[in-house]
Structure 1
Amino acid sequence: MPFITNKKSEEQVDIFYEDYGKGQPVILIHGWPLSRKSWEHQVWKIVEAGYRCISYDRRGFGISSAPWDGYDYSSLASDLDAIINELKLENAIIVGFSMGGGEVVRYLTDYGDSKIAKAALISSIVPLVKKKEDNPDGVPESALKDIQNALENDRVGFLKEFHKGFYNFDENKKADRISEAVLDYDFIVASHASPRATIQAALSWMHTDFRPELKNINVPTLIVHGDADATVPIETSSEQAAKGIKDSTYEIIKGAPHGLNITHKEELNEILMRFLKS
Protein backbone atom coordinates (compact mmCIF):
# COMPACT_ATOMS: atom_id res chain seq x y z
CA MET A 1 0.00 0.00 0.00
CA PRO A 2 1.34 3.48 -0.80
CA PHE A 3 2.46 5.66 2.09
CA ILE A 4 4.44 8.88 2.12
CA THR A 5 6.55 9.68 5.17
CA ASN A 6 6.61 13.26 6.40
CA LYS A 7 10.23 13.53 7.45
CA LYS A 8 9.78 17.08 8.76
CA SER A 9 7.33 15.98 11.42
CA GLU A 10 8.58 15.67 15.00
CA GLU A 11 7.20 12.15 15.11
CA GLN A 12 7.40 9.94 12.03
CA VAL A 13 4.09 10.28 10.20
CA ASP A 14 3.17 7.95 7.35
CA ILE A 15 0.34 9.25 5.19
CA PHE A 16 -1.70 6.78 3.18
CA TYR A 17 -2.80 7.95 -0.25
CA GLU A 18 -4.51 6.71 -3.39
CA ASP A 19 -3.32 7.91 -6.80
CA TYR A 20 -5.43 7.32 -9.91
CA GLY A 21 -5.42 8.63 -13.45
CA LYS A 22 -3.06 10.80 -15.46
CA GLY A 23 -2.90 14.48 -16.26
CA GLN A 24 -3.02 17.59 -14.10
CA PRO A 25 -3.02 16.52 -10.41
CA VAL A 26 -6.06 17.17 -8.24
CA ILE A 27 -5.49 16.58 -4.51
CA LEU A 28 -8.55 15.89 -2.34
CA ILE A 29 -8.38 16.70 1.39
CA HIS A 30 -11.21 15.18 3.40
CA GLY A 31 -13.31 16.59 6.20
CA TRP A 32 -13.62 15.72 9.88
CA PRO A 33 -14.12 13.03 11.21
CA LEU A 34 -13.91 10.86 8.06
CA SER A 35 -11.20 9.76 5.64
CA ARG A 36 -10.33 9.79 1.95
CA LYS A 37 -13.23 7.37 1.44
CA SER A 38 -15.68 10.28 1.69
CA TRP A 39 -14.60 11.42 -1.79
CA GLU A 40 -15.76 8.32 -3.68
CA HIS A 41 -18.35 10.17 -5.78
CA GLN A 42 -15.77 12.74 -6.86
CA VAL A 43 -12.70 10.54 -7.49
CA TRP A 44 -14.13 8.62 -10.44
CA LYS A 45 -15.54 11.79 -11.98
CA ILE A 46 -12.17 13.57 -11.78
CA VAL A 47 -10.29 10.61 -13.26
CA GLU A 48 -12.86 10.16 -16.03
CA ALA A 49 -12.42 13.83 -16.94
CA GLY A 50 -8.72 13.27 -17.63
CA TYR A 51 -7.10 14.35 -14.38
CA ARG A 52 -4.78 12.61 -11.94
CA CYS A 53 -6.67 12.31 -8.65
CA ILE A 54 -4.81 11.92 -5.36
CA SER A 55 -6.74 11.51 -2.12
CA TYR A 56 -5.19 10.82 1.26
CA ASP A 57 -6.03 10.10 4.88
CA ARG A 58 -5.27 12.96 7.25
CA ARG A 59 -2.90 11.91 10.03
CA GLY A 60 -4.88 10.15 12.75
CA PHE A 61 -7.66 9.15 10.33
CA GLY A 62 -8.15 6.29 7.92
CA ILE A 63 -5.00 4.19 7.92
CA SER A 64 -2.44 6.97 8.19
CA SER A 65 -0.19 7.22 11.25
CA ALA A 66 -1.76 8.54 14.43
CA PRO A 67 0.85 10.53 16.37
CA TRP A 68 -0.06 11.83 19.82
CA ASP A 69 0.42 15.46 18.83
CA GLY A 70 0.65 17.48 15.63
CA TYR A 71 -2.96 18.24 14.74
CA ASP A 72 -2.50 21.98 14.39
CA TYR A 73 -2.96 23.25 10.85
CA SER A 74 0.71 23.90 10.13
CA SER A 75 1.52 20.28 10.98
CA LEU A 76 -1.36 19.08 8.82
CA ALA A 77 -0.24 21.31 5.95
CA SER A 78 3.25 19.84 6.22
CA ASP A 79 1.75 16.44 5.37
CA LEU A 80 0.22 17.93 2.23
CA ASP A 81 3.59 19.45 1.37
CA ALA A 82 5.26 16.06 1.82
CA ILE A 83 2.81 14.51 -0.65
CA ILE A 84 3.36 17.26 -3.22
CA ASN A 85 7.15 16.98 -2.93
CA GLU A 86 7.40 13.20 -2.79
CA LEU A 87 5.16 12.78 -5.85
CA LYS A 88 6.92 15.70 -7.59
CA LEU A 89 3.63 17.42 -8.32
CA GLU A 90 3.44 20.65 -10.28
CA ASN A 91 0.49 22.79 -11.37
CA ALA A 92 -1.68 21.01 -8.80
CA ILE A 93 -5.26 21.79 -7.83
CA ILE A 94 -5.90 21.39 -4.09
CA VAL A 95 -9.46 20.75 -2.93
CA GLY A 96 -10.43 20.87 0.74
CA PHE A 97 -13.75 19.76 2.19
CA SER A 98 -14.90 21.26 5.52
CA MET A 99 -11.89 20.98 7.86
CA GLY A 100 -9.77 20.31 4.78
CA GLY A 101 -10.29 23.87 3.63
CA GLY A 102 -8.00 24.91 6.46
CA GLU A 103 -5.17 22.80 5.07
CA VAL A 104 -5.60 24.51 1.71
CA VAL A 105 -5.26 27.97 3.24
CA ARG A 106 -2.44 27.05 5.64
CA TYR A 107 -0.50 25.31 2.86
CA LEU A 108 -0.66 28.47 0.75
CA THR A 109 0.38 30.51 3.79
CA ASP A 110 3.30 28.30 4.79
CA TYR A 111 4.54 27.09 1.39
CA GLY A 112 3.23 29.51 -1.22
CA ASP A 113 1.64 28.69 -4.55
CA SER A 114 4.59 27.91 -6.84
CA LYS A 115 3.30 24.34 -7.27
CA ILE A 116 -0.41 25.20 -7.11
CA ALA A 117 -2.59 26.21 -10.06
CA LYS A 118 -5.98 26.46 -8.37
CA ALA A 119 -7.73 25.78 -5.08
CA ALA A 120 -11.24 24.81 -4.02
CA LEU A 121 -13.03 25.12 -0.69
CA ILE A 122 -16.06 22.82 -0.39
CA SER A 123 -18.40 23.24 2.62
CA SER A 124 -15.30 24.74 4.19
CA ILE A 125 -14.77 25.96 7.75
CA VAL A 126 -12.67 28.82 6.35
CA PRO A 127 -12.24 31.44 7.64
CA LEU A 128 -13.67 30.98 11.16
CA VAL A 129 -16.18 28.67 12.85
CA LYS A 130 -16.29 30.16 16.35
CA LYS A 131 -18.57 33.03 17.28
CA LYS A 132 -16.75 36.17 18.37
CA GLU A 133 -17.69 39.82 18.77
CA ASP A 134 -16.43 40.44 15.25
CA ASN A 135 -17.86 37.13 13.97
CA PRO A 136 -21.45 37.19 15.24
CA ASP A 137 -22.72 34.46 12.89
CA GLY A 138 -20.27 31.87 14.20
CA VAL A 139 -20.99 28.85 16.36
CA PRO A 140 -21.18 29.78 20.07
CA GLU A 141 -18.19 28.63 22.08
CA SER A 142 -20.55 26.81 24.47
CA ALA A 143 -21.76 24.62 21.59
CA LEU A 144 -18.19 23.87 20.57
CA LYS A 145 -17.36 22.99 24.18
CA ASP A 146 -20.34 20.61 24.21
CA ILE A 147 -18.87 18.81 21.19
CA GLN A 148 -15.49 18.54 22.89
CA ASN A 149 -17.08 17.17 26.08
CA ALA A 150 -19.11 14.64 24.11
CA LEU A 151 -16.01 13.44 22.27
CA GLU A 152 -14.08 13.08 25.52
CA ASN A 153 -16.87 11.25 27.36
CA ASP A 154 -18.66 9.19 24.68
CA ARG A 155 -16.89 9.62 21.37
CA VAL A 156 -18.61 6.77 19.56
CA GLY A 157 -22.01 7.81 20.92
CA PHE A 158 -21.48 11.30 19.57
CA LEU A 159 -20.27 10.03 16.21
CA LYS A 160 -23.26 7.70 15.91
CA GLU A 161 -25.57 10.73 15.78
CA PHE A 162 -23.30 13.35 14.25
CA HIS A 163 -23.86 12.65 10.57
CA LYS A 164 -27.62 13.00 10.78
CA GLY A 165 -27.11 16.74 11.04
CA PHE A 166 -24.16 16.60 8.66
CA TYR A 167 -26.53 15.48 5.87
CA ASN A 168 -29.82 17.00 7.10
CA PHE A 169 -30.65 13.33 7.00
CA ASP A 170 -34.43 13.14 7.43
CA GLU A 171 -35.08 15.71 4.74
CA ASN A 172 -32.63 14.24 2.23
CA LYS A 173 -33.68 10.67 2.87
CA LYS A 174 -37.24 11.63 1.91
CA ALA A 175 -35.81 13.17 -1.26
CA ASP A 176 -33.92 9.91 -2.04
CA ARG A 177 -30.59 11.71 -1.81
CA ILE A 178 -29.14 9.51 0.94
CA SER A 179 -29.69 6.14 2.60
CA GLU A 180 -29.38 4.79 6.13
CA ALA A 181 -26.38 2.80 4.91
CA VAL A 182 -24.38 6.01 4.42
CA LEU A 183 -24.81 6.85 8.11
CA ASP A 184 -23.64 3.34 9.04
CA TYR A 185 -20.65 3.62 6.71
CA ASP A 186 -19.62 7.01 8.05
CA PHE A 187 -19.92 5.76 11.61
CA ILE A 188 -17.60 2.86 10.85
CA VAL A 189 -15.03 5.17 9.24
CA ALA A 190 -15.25 7.86 11.94
CA SER A 191 -15.28 5.50 14.92
CA HIS A 192 -12.08 3.79 13.76
CA ALA A 193 -10.15 7.06 13.69
CA SER A 194 -7.73 7.78 16.53
CA PRO A 195 -9.65 9.10 19.56
CA ARG A 196 -6.85 11.56 20.28
CA ALA A 197 -6.75 12.76 16.65
CA THR A 198 -10.52 13.14 16.53
CA ILE A 199 -10.48 15.49 19.51
CA GLN A 200 -7.31 17.41 18.66
CA ALA A 201 -8.31 17.92 15.03
CA ALA A 202 -11.71 19.16 16.18
CA LEU A 203 -10.04 21.74 18.41
CA SER A 204 -8.09 22.95 15.37
CA TRP A 205 -11.14 23.51 13.18
CA MET A 206 -13.08 24.98 16.08
CA HIS A 207 -10.57 27.62 17.10
CA THR A 208 -8.29 28.49 14.17
CA ASP A 209 -8.96 31.92 12.70
CA PHE A 210 -7.96 32.02 9.02
CA ARG A 211 -9.17 35.55 8.36
CA PRO A 212 -5.64 37.05 8.33
CA GLU A 213 -4.53 34.32 5.90
CA LEU A 214 -7.11 34.89 3.16
CA LYS A 215 -4.76 37.42 1.57
CA ASN A 216 -2.28 34.58 0.99
CA ILE A 217 -4.60 32.91 -1.53
CA ASN A 218 -3.49 34.23 -4.90
CA VAL A 219 -4.64 31.43 -7.20
CA PRO A 220 -8.11 31.04 -8.74
CA THR A 221 -10.30 29.61 -6.00
CA LEU A 222 -13.66 27.88 -6.12
CA ILE A 223 -15.91 28.22 -3.06
CA VAL A 224 -18.96 25.94 -2.78
CA HIS A 225 -21.42 25.83 0.11
CA GLY A 226 -24.97 24.65 0.73
CA ASP A 227 -27.44 27.23 1.96
CA ALA A 228 -28.96 24.62 4.29
CA ASP A 229 -25.66 23.73 6.00
CA ALA A 230 -26.50 23.23 9.68
CA THR A 231 -22.97 22.12 10.62
CA VAL A 232 -20.86 25.01 9.31
CA PRO A 233 -23.07 28.08 8.87
CA ILE A 234 -22.57 29.66 5.45
CA GLU A 235 -22.52 33.18 6.92
CA THR A 236 -19.42 32.53 9.05
CA SER A 237 -17.57 30.54 6.42
CA SER A 238 -17.99 30.73 2.66
CA GLU A 239 -19.67 34.12 2.56
CA GLN A 240 -16.67 35.62 4.34
CA ALA A 241 -14.20 33.57 2.31
CA ALA A 242 -15.71 34.77 -0.95
CA LYS A 243 -15.29 38.37 0.16
CA GLY A 244 -11.74 37.86 1.41
CA ILE A 245 -10.26 35.84 -1.48
CA LYS A 246 -9.73 38.17 -4.38
CA ASP A 247 -9.81 35.66 -7.27
CA SER A 248 -12.74 33.51 -6.19
CA THR A 249 -15.79 31.92 -7.79
CA TYR A 250 -18.60 31.47 -5.28
CA GLU A 251 -21.28 28.82 -5.89
CA ILE A 252 -24.22 28.21 -3.54
CA ILE A 253 -26.10 24.93 -3.87
CA LYS A 254 -29.69 25.56 -2.91
CA GLY A 255 -31.05 23.27 -0.20
CA ALA A 256 -27.75 21.46 0.25
CA PRO A 257 -26.48 20.41 3.71
CA HIS A 258 -22.89 20.20 4.90
CA GLY A 259 -22.32 16.78 3.33
CA LEU A 260 -23.29 17.93 -0.14
CA ASN A 261 -20.57 15.77 -1.68
CA ILE A 262 -22.99 12.90 -1.02
CA THR A 263 -26.50 14.38 -1.06
CA HIS A 264 -25.89 16.79 -3.95
CA LYS A 265 -23.05 14.99 -5.66
CA GLU A 266 -24.29 15.65 -9.20
CA GLU A 267 -24.56 19.37 -8.57
CA LEU A 268 -21.15 19.51 -6.87
CA ASN A 269 -19.46 17.43 -9.55
CA GLU A 270 -20.82 19.66 -12.31
CA ILE A 271 -19.52 22.77 -10.55
CA LEU A 272 -16.16 21.15 -9.80
CA MET A 273 -15.67 19.91 -13.37
CA ARG A 274 -16.47 23.32 -14.77
CA PHE A 275 -13.88 24.88 -12.47
CA LEU A 276 -11.19 22.31 -13.22
CA LYS A 277 -11.60 22.86 -16.95
CA SER A 278 -11.83 26.66 -16.81
Structure 2
Amino acid sequence: MHRRDILISGGALAAGAAVATRPAAADHRPATLRTRDGVQLFHRDWGEGPAVVFAASWALTSEMWAYQVAHLSERGFRCIAYDRRGHGRSDVPGRGYDMDTLADDLGAVIEGLGLRDVALVGHSMGGAEVIRYLGRHGSGRVRKVALVAAAAPYLLQTPDNPYGAPQAYFDARLADWARDFPKWVADNRAPFFTPQTSPAMSDWLVDQLVSTPVPVAMATFRAMLARDLRPDLARVDRPTLILHGDKDASAPLEITGRRLAAGIPGARLKVYPGAPHGLFVTHMEQVNADLEAFLRA
Protein backbone atom coordinates (compact mmCIF):
# COMPACT_ATOMS: atom_id res chain seq x y z
CA MET A 1 0.00 0.00 0.00
CA HIS A 2 1.32 3.48 -0.93
CA ARG A 3 1.86 6.17 1.68
CA ARG A 4 -0.96 8.22 0.14
CA ASP A 5 -3.35 5.25 0.51
CA ILE A 6 -2.27 4.78 4.12
CA LEU A 7 -2.95 8.44 4.85
CA ILE A 8 -6.35 8.29 3.18
CA SER A 9 -7.24 5.08 5.05
CA GLY A 10 -6.05 6.55 8.33
CA GLY A 11 -8.10 9.70 7.71
CA ALA A 12 -11.18 7.65 7.00
CA LEU A 13 -10.69 5.66 10.18
CA ALA A 14 -10.21 8.83 12.20
CA ALA A 15 -13.36 10.33 10.71
CA GLY A 16 -15.24 7.15 11.52
CA ALA A 17 -13.97 7.21 15.07
CA ALA A 18 -15.08 10.80 15.41
CA VAL A 19 -18.57 9.92 14.23
CA ALA A 20 -18.70 6.93 16.56
CA THR A 21 -17.80 9.01 19.58
CA ARG A 22 -20.28 11.80 18.97
CA PRO A 23 -23.01 12.13 21.58
CA ALA A 24 -26.13 10.16 20.76
CA ALA A 25 -28.94 12.12 19.17
CA ALA A 26 -31.65 13.32 21.50
CA ASP A 27 -34.18 11.02 19.87
CA HIS A 28 -31.95 7.92 20.02
CA ARG A 29 -33.95 4.84 20.93
CA PRO A 30 -32.14 2.30 23.12
CA ALA A 31 -32.23 -1.31 21.95
CA THR A 32 -32.84 -2.74 25.42
CA LEU A 33 -35.13 -2.04 28.35
CA ARG A 34 -34.89 -3.27 31.93
CA THR A 35 -37.74 -5.06 33.68
CA ARG A 36 -38.62 -4.68 37.36
CA ASP A 37 -36.52 -7.73 38.25
CA GLY A 38 -33.50 -6.50 36.30
CA VAL A 39 -33.88 -8.49 33.06
CA GLN A 40 -32.76 -6.75 29.88
CA LEU A 41 -35.28 -7.05 27.03
CA PHE A 42 -34.13 -6.44 23.47
CA HIS A 43 -36.54 -4.73 21.11
CA ARG A 44 -36.70 -3.49 17.53
CA ASP A 45 -38.15 -0.01 16.95
CA TRP A 46 -38.98 1.02 13.39
CA GLY A 47 -40.90 3.89 11.86
CA GLU A 48 -42.73 6.97 13.06
CA GLY A 49 -46.37 7.47 13.93
CA PRO A 50 -48.94 5.73 16.12
CA ALA A 51 -47.19 3.03 18.15
CA VAL A 52 -47.80 -0.68 17.64
CA VAL A 53 -46.19 -3.21 20.00
CA PHE A 54 -45.81 -6.79 18.77
CA ALA A 55 -45.66 -9.77 21.18
CA ALA A 56 -44.06 -12.85 19.65
CA SER A 57 -45.23 -16.41 19.41
CA TRP A 58 -44.14 -19.14 21.81
CA ALA A 59 -40.43 -19.91 21.26
CA LEU A 60 -40.05 -17.33 18.46
CA THR A 61 -38.38 -13.93 18.58
CA SER A 62 -39.25 -10.39 17.57
CA GLU A 63 -37.79 -11.17 14.15
CA MET A 64 -40.92 -13.22 13.31
CA TRP A 65 -42.78 -9.92 12.80
CA ALA A 66 -40.33 -8.69 10.12
CA TYR A 67 -42.90 -8.57 7.34
CA GLN A 68 -45.59 -6.89 9.42
CA VAL A 69 -43.06 -4.34 10.69
CA ALA A 70 -41.81 -3.67 7.16
CA HIS A 71 -45.34 -3.17 5.85
CA LEU A 72 -46.70 -1.00 8.66
CA SER A 73 -43.59 1.11 9.31
CA GLU A 74 -43.62 2.18 5.67
CA ARG A 75 -47.25 3.27 6.04
CA GLY A 76 -47.00 5.63 8.96
CA PHE A 77 -46.76 3.43 12.07
CA ARG A 78 -44.08 3.09 14.71
CA CYS A 79 -43.51 -0.65 15.14
CA ILE A 80 -41.93 -2.06 18.29
CA ALA A 81 -41.25 -5.80 18.52
CA TYR A 82 -39.49 -7.23 21.56
CA ASP A 83 -37.83 -10.51 22.47
CA ARG A 84 -39.53 -12.23 25.40
CA ARG A 85 -37.16 -13.00 28.29
CA GLY A 86 -35.14 -16.10 27.47
CA HIS A 87 -35.57 -15.53 23.73
CA GLY A 88 -33.49 -13.98 20.99
CA ARG A 89 -31.26 -11.17 22.19
CA SER A 90 -32.93 -10.66 25.56
CA ASP A 91 -31.43 -11.93 28.81
CA VAL A 92 -31.97 -15.58 29.73
CA PRO A 93 -32.70 -15.56 33.45
CA GLY A 94 -33.54 -18.72 35.37
CA ARG A 95 -36.79 -17.23 36.63
CA GLY A 96 -39.85 -15.27 35.63
CA TYR A 97 -41.47 -17.67 33.17
CA ASP A 98 -45.02 -17.27 34.39
CA MET A 99 -47.84 -15.35 32.76
CA ASP A 100 -47.93 -12.57 35.34
CA THR A 101 -44.22 -11.81 34.96
CA LEU A 102 -44.39 -12.09 31.18
CA ALA A 103 -47.34 -9.69 31.15
CA ASP A 104 -45.33 -7.35 33.35
CA ASP A 105 -42.49 -7.56 30.83
CA LEU A 106 -44.86 -6.35 28.12
CA GLY A 107 -45.78 -3.55 30.50
CA ALA A 108 -42.09 -2.74 30.95
CA VAL A 109 -41.76 -2.24 27.19
CA ILE A 110 -44.82 0.00 27.02
CA GLU A 111 -43.88 2.05 30.07
CA GLY A 112 -40.15 2.09 29.39
CA LEU A 113 -40.75 3.68 25.99
CA GLY A 114 -43.35 6.05 27.38
CA LEU A 115 -46.05 4.78 25.04
CA ARG A 116 -49.65 5.97 25.11
CA ASP A 117 -52.60 5.03 22.91
CA VAL A 118 -50.63 1.99 21.77
CA ALA A 119 -51.98 -0.87 19.68
CA LEU A 120 -51.04 -4.35 20.88
CA VAL A 121 -50.58 -7.22 18.42
CA GLY A 122 -49.90 -10.73 19.70
CA HIS A 123 -49.47 -14.08 17.97
CA SER A 124 -50.02 -17.42 19.74
CA MET A 125 -48.51 -17.09 23.23
CA GLY A 126 -47.97 -13.40 22.51
CA GLY A 127 -51.74 -13.06 22.27
CA ALA A 128 -52.11 -14.69 25.68
CA GLU A 129 -49.57 -12.23 27.12
CA VAL A 130 -51.51 -9.31 25.66
CA ILE A 131 -54.72 -10.55 27.29
CA ARG A 132 -53.00 -11.09 30.63
CA TYR A 133 -51.41 -7.64 30.43
CA LEU A 134 -54.86 -6.08 30.00
CA GLY A 135 -56.30 -8.20 32.80
CA ARG A 136 -53.44 -7.30 35.13
CA HIS A 137 -52.67 -3.68 34.19
CA GLY A 138 -55.82 -2.44 32.48
CA SER A 139 -56.14 -0.64 29.16
CA GLY A 140 -55.18 2.89 30.18
CA ARG A 141 -52.27 2.99 27.72
CA VAL A 142 -53.95 0.90 25.02
CA ARG A 143 -55.91 1.99 21.97
CA LYS A 144 -56.56 -1.26 20.09
CA VAL A 145 -55.83 -4.99 20.30
CA ALA A 146 -55.16 -7.52 17.53
CA LEU A 147 -54.92 -11.22 18.34
CA VAL A 148 -53.38 -13.32 15.57
CA ALA A 149 -53.84 -17.08 16.05
CA ALA A 150 -53.78 -16.45 19.79
CA ALA A 151 -53.25 -19.48 22.06
CA ALA A 152 -55.91 -18.46 24.56
CA PRO A 153 -58.03 -18.25 26.66
CA TYR A 154 -57.43 -21.69 28.23
CA LEU A 155 -55.78 -24.65 26.53
CA LEU A 156 -56.21 -27.23 29.29
CA GLN A 157 -59.30 -29.42 29.47
CA THR A 158 -61.03 -29.18 32.84
CA PRO A 159 -64.56 -29.98 34.04
CA ASP A 160 -65.66 -26.46 33.16
CA ASN A 161 -63.54 -26.17 30.00
CA PRO A 162 -64.43 -28.93 27.53
CA TYR A 163 -62.69 -27.05 24.72
CA GLY A 164 -59.16 -27.75 25.96
CA ALA A 165 -56.94 -30.81 25.54
CA PRO A 166 -56.21 -33.27 28.37
CA GLN A 167 -53.15 -32.77 30.57
CA ALA A 168 -51.77 -36.13 29.37
CA TYR A 169 -51.60 -34.79 25.82
CA PHE A 170 -49.44 -31.87 26.89
CA ASP A 171 -47.33 -34.05 29.20
CA ALA A 172 -46.43 -36.26 26.24
CA ARG A 173 -45.41 -33.21 24.23
CA LEU A 174 -43.20 -31.91 27.03
CA ALA A 175 -41.59 -35.34 27.35
CA ASP A 176 -40.77 -35.29 23.64
CA TRP A 177 -39.14 -31.88 24.03
CA ALA A 178 -37.09 -33.08 26.99
CA ARG A 179 -35.75 -35.96 24.86
CA ASP A 180 -35.15 -34.27 21.49
CA PHE A 181 -36.59 -30.82 20.88
CA PRO A 182 -35.09 -30.33 17.38
CA LYS A 183 -36.56 -33.67 16.23
CA TRP A 184 -40.01 -32.71 17.52
CA VAL A 185 -39.77 -29.39 15.68
CA ALA A 186 -38.72 -31.13 12.45
CA ASP A 187 -41.48 -33.72 12.75
CA ASN A 188 -44.16 -31.09 13.38
CA ARG A 189 -43.14 -28.21 11.15
CA ALA A 190 -45.41 -28.97 8.18
CA PRO A 191 -48.77 -28.08 9.82
CA PHE A 192 -47.42 -24.64 10.80
CA PHE A 193 -47.13 -23.71 7.13
CA THR A 194 -48.88 -24.37 3.81
CA PRO A 195 -47.51 -26.43 0.91
CA GLN A 196 -46.89 -23.15 -0.92
CA THR A 197 -44.60 -21.79 1.80
CA SER A 198 -41.02 -21.65 0.55
CA PRO A 199 -38.50 -23.93 2.28
CA ALA A 200 -36.38 -20.85 2.98
CA MET A 201 -39.23 -19.13 4.82
CA SER A 202 -40.01 -22.19 6.93
CA ASP A 203 -36.31 -22.72 7.67
CA TRP A 204 -36.04 -19.10 8.84
CA LEU A 205 -38.75 -19.61 11.45
CA VAL A 206 -37.64 -23.10 12.45
CA ASP A 207 -34.13 -21.76 13.08
CA GLN A 208 -35.63 -19.23 15.51
CA LEU A 209 -37.58 -21.96 17.23
CA VAL A 210 -34.70 -24.36 17.82
CA SER A 211 -32.44 -21.52 18.98
CA THR A 212 -34.70 -21.01 22.01
CA PRO A 213 -33.21 -22.79 25.04
CA VAL A 214 -35.15 -25.96 25.79
CA PRO A 215 -35.72 -25.09 29.48
CA VAL A 216 -37.15 -21.74 28.40
CA ALA A 217 -39.40 -23.33 25.78
CA MET A 218 -40.73 -25.81 28.33
CA ALA A 219 -41.18 -23.25 31.11
CA THR A 220 -43.07 -20.78 28.93
CA PHE A 221 -45.28 -23.53 27.54
CA ARG A 222 -46.15 -24.69 31.06
CA ALA A 223 -46.97 -21.09 31.96
CA MET A 224 -49.35 -20.81 29.02
CA LEU A 225 -51.06 -24.06 29.99
CA ALA A 226 -51.41 -23.17 33.65
CA ARG A 227 -53.06 -19.78 33.21
CA ASP A 228 -56.81 -19.60 32.74
CA LEU A 229 -57.35 -16.28 30.95
CA ARG A 230 -61.13 -16.51 30.72
CA PRO A 231 -61.61 -14.08 33.63
CA ASP A 232 -59.41 -11.53 31.82
CA LEU A 233 -61.47 -11.42 28.65
CA ALA A 234 -64.06 -9.01 30.05
CA ARG A 235 -61.25 -6.55 30.81
CA VAL A 236 -60.29 -6.34 27.14
CA ASP A 237 -62.33 -3.19 26.65
CA ARG A 238 -60.69 -1.80 23.53
CA PRO A 239 -61.57 -2.50 19.88
CA THR A 240 -60.29 -6.01 19.24
CA LEU A 241 -59.60 -7.82 15.97
CA ILE A 242 -59.10 -11.60 16.01
CA LEU A 243 -57.44 -13.20 12.98
CA HIS A 244 -57.44 -17.00 12.94
CA GLY A 245 -57.07 -19.78 10.41
CA ASP A 246 -59.47 -22.70 10.20
CA LYS A 247 -56.53 -25.09 9.62
CA ASP A 248 -54.64 -24.05 12.75
CA ALA A 249 -53.27 -27.25 14.32
CA SER A 250 -51.43 -25.50 17.16
CA ALA A 251 -54.30 -23.32 18.42
CA PRO A 252 -57.46 -24.80 16.87
CA LEU A 253 -60.08 -22.23 15.96
CA GLU A 254 -62.87 -23.79 18.06
CA ILE A 255 -60.67 -23.91 21.18
CA THR A 256 -59.14 -20.45 20.85
CA GLY A 257 -60.35 -17.97 18.24
CA ARG A 258 -64.06 -18.58 18.68
CA ARG A 259 -63.77 -18.66 22.47
CA LEU A 260 -61.96 -15.33 22.41
CA ALA A 261 -64.56 -13.80 20.14
CA ALA A 262 -67.31 -15.00 22.47
CA GLY A 263 -65.61 -13.67 25.61
CA ILE A 264 -64.20 -10.30 24.54
CA PRO A 265 -66.92 -7.63 24.36
CA GLY A 266 -67.37 -6.38 20.80
CA ALA A 267 -64.48 -8.41 19.36
CA ARG A 268 -64.50 -9.05 15.60
CA LEU A 269 -63.36 -12.48 14.42
CA LYS A 270 -62.07 -12.93 10.88
CA VAL A 271 -61.49 -16.55 9.87
CA TYR A 272 -58.96 -17.30 7.14
CA PRO A 273 -59.99 -20.37 5.15
CA GLY A 274 -57.11 -22.81 4.83
CA ALA A 275 -54.76 -20.81 7.05
CA PRO A 276 -52.46 -22.60 9.55
CA HIS A 277 -50.88 -21.28 12.73
CA GLY A 278 -48.17 -19.49 10.76
CA LEU A 279 -50.64 -17.28 8.89
CA PHE A 280 -48.47 -14.22 9.51
CA VAL A 281 -46.17 -15.59 6.78
CA THR A 282 -48.42 -18.00 4.85
CA HIS A 283 -51.17 -15.35 4.46
CA MET A 284 -48.87 -12.38 4.89
CA GLU A 285 -50.49 -9.97 2.44
CA GLN A 286 -53.97 -10.46 3.89
CA VAL A 287 -52.75 -10.25 7.49
CA ASN A 288 -50.83 -7.06 6.71
CA ALA A 289 -53.81 -5.51 4.96
CA ASP A 290 -56.22 -6.46 7.75
CA LEU A 291 -53.92 -5.12 10.45
CA GLU A 292 -53.37 -1.87 8.57
CA ALA A 293 -57.08 -1.33 8.00
CA PHE A 294 -57.86 -2.08 11.64
CA LEU A 295 -55.14 0.20 12.96
CA ARG A 296 -56.25 3.07 10.72
CA ALA A 297 -59.95 2.83 11.53
The two structures have a TM-score, normalised by structure 1, of 0.93
1:237 aligns with 2:263: no
Report sequence identity in percent: 34
Q: What code does the residue aligned with 2:283 have?
A: H
RCO comparison, higher one (Cα < 8 Å, 6+):
1
Are 1:123 and 1:238, in contact at CA under 8 Å, matched by a contact in 2? yes
Q: What code does the residue aligned with 2:49 have?
A: G
Distance 1:182 1:133 in 2: 40
2:215 to 167, 190, 196: 196
Are 1:138 and 1:233, in contact at CA under 8 Å, matched by a contact in 2? no
**How does 1:86-235 map onto structure 2 within 5 Å?**
86-167=112-193, 172-173=194-195, 176=196, 178-235=197-254
Of structures 1 and 2, the larger Rg is shown by 2
SS of the aligned residue for 2:188 comes to helix
SS of the aligned residue for 1:22 comes to coil
Cα deviations by residue, 1:161-199 (Å, 9 ceiling, x for unpaired) = 3322222xxxx22xx3x1122232222211221221111
Q: Give the equivalent residue in structure 2 for 1:3.
A: 32
Distance 2:114 2:65 in 1: 23
Q: What code does the residue aligned with 1:208 have?
A: R
Deviation at 1:109, TM superposition (A): 1.4
Distance 1:232 1:110 in 2: 23
Q: Give the equivalent residue in structure 1 for 2:290.
A: 271
Q: What code does the residue aligned with 1:57 have?
A: D
1:50 aligns with 2:69: no
Gaps (5+ residues) in structure 2?
1-29
SS of the aligned residue for 1:43 comes to helix
Distance 1:193 1:155 in 2: 10
Are 1:25 and 1:89, in contact at CA under 8 Å, matched by a contact in 2? yes
SS of the aligned residue for 2:84 comes to coil
Distance 1:39 1:162 in 2: 21
Distance 1:208 1:162 in 2: 25
1:41 aligns with 2:67: yes
1:262 to 281, 291, 295: 281
Cα deviations by residue, 1:136-161 (Å, 9 ceiling, x for unpaired) = 23223222111111111112222223
Runs of 4+ off more than 3 Å = none
Q: What code does the residue aligned with 2:79 have?
A: C
What's the Cα RMSD here?
A: 1.3
Are 1:128 and 1:208, in contact at CA under 8 Å, matched by a contact in 2? yes
Deviation at 1:73, TM superposition (A): 0.9
1:253 aligns with 2:279: no
Are 1:15 and 1:58, in contact at CA under 8 Å, matched by a contact in 2? yes
Q: What code does the residue aligned with 2:52 have?
A: V
Cα deviations by residue, 1:180-223 (Å, 9 ceiling, x for unpaired) = 22232222211221221111001112232111111111111111
Gaps (5+ residues) in structure 1?
none
Are 1:137 and 1:233, in contact at CA under 8 Å, matched by a contact in 2? no
Aligned length: 268
Distance 1:228 1:191 in 2: 23
2:48 to 19, 22, 33: 22
Deviation at 1:246, TM superposition (A): 0.5
Q: What code does the residue aligned with 2:119 have?
A: I
Q: What code does the residue aligned with 1:156 have?
A: P
Q: What code does the residue aligned with 1:21 have?
A: G
Distance 2:49 2:102 in 1: 26
Distance 2:285 2:223 in 1: 30
Distance 2:209 2:251 in 1: 18
Are 1:15 and 1:64, in contact at CA under 8 Å, matched by a contact in 2? yes
